[in-house]
């Protein structure tokens, strides 16, 4: 597998920006908080599901 170091660095940056919410990616109880982020156009472009899966826990996972 080839990994771009920039992608790894981006992942930690996104988690830092999400703060406490980043710890709840797989928590359906946090769906309303994520939906609220999608009301901001720039964040919707960045965070909207590209694959049709509405929640992060329903998306396919890539194993390290």
Tens digit of each residue's pLDDT (9 = 90 or more) over 26-40: 888 988 998 888 888
pLDDT band at 1 (very low <50, low <70, confident <90, very high): low
Question: Has residue 8 got a pLDDT over 80?
Answer: no
Instruction: Quote the tokens at residue 29.
Output: 């109880």
Question: Has residue 20 got a pLDDT over 80?
Answer: yes
> What's the pTM value of the predicted model, to 2 decimals?
0.53
End-to-end Cα distance, the chain: 9
pLDDT band at 12 (very low <50, low <70, confident <90, very high): confident
List Cβ neighbours of 14 (8 Å cut-off, separation of 6 or more): 22
């Amino acid at each position: 597998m080839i990994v771009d170091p920039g992608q790894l660095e981006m992942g930690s940056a996104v988690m830092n920006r999400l703060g406490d919410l980043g710890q709840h990616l797989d928590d359906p109880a946090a769906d309303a908080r994520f939906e609220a982020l999608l009301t901001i156009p720039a964040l919707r472009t960045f965070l909207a599901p590209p694959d049709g899966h509405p929640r992060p826990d329903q998306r396919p996972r890539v194993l390290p």
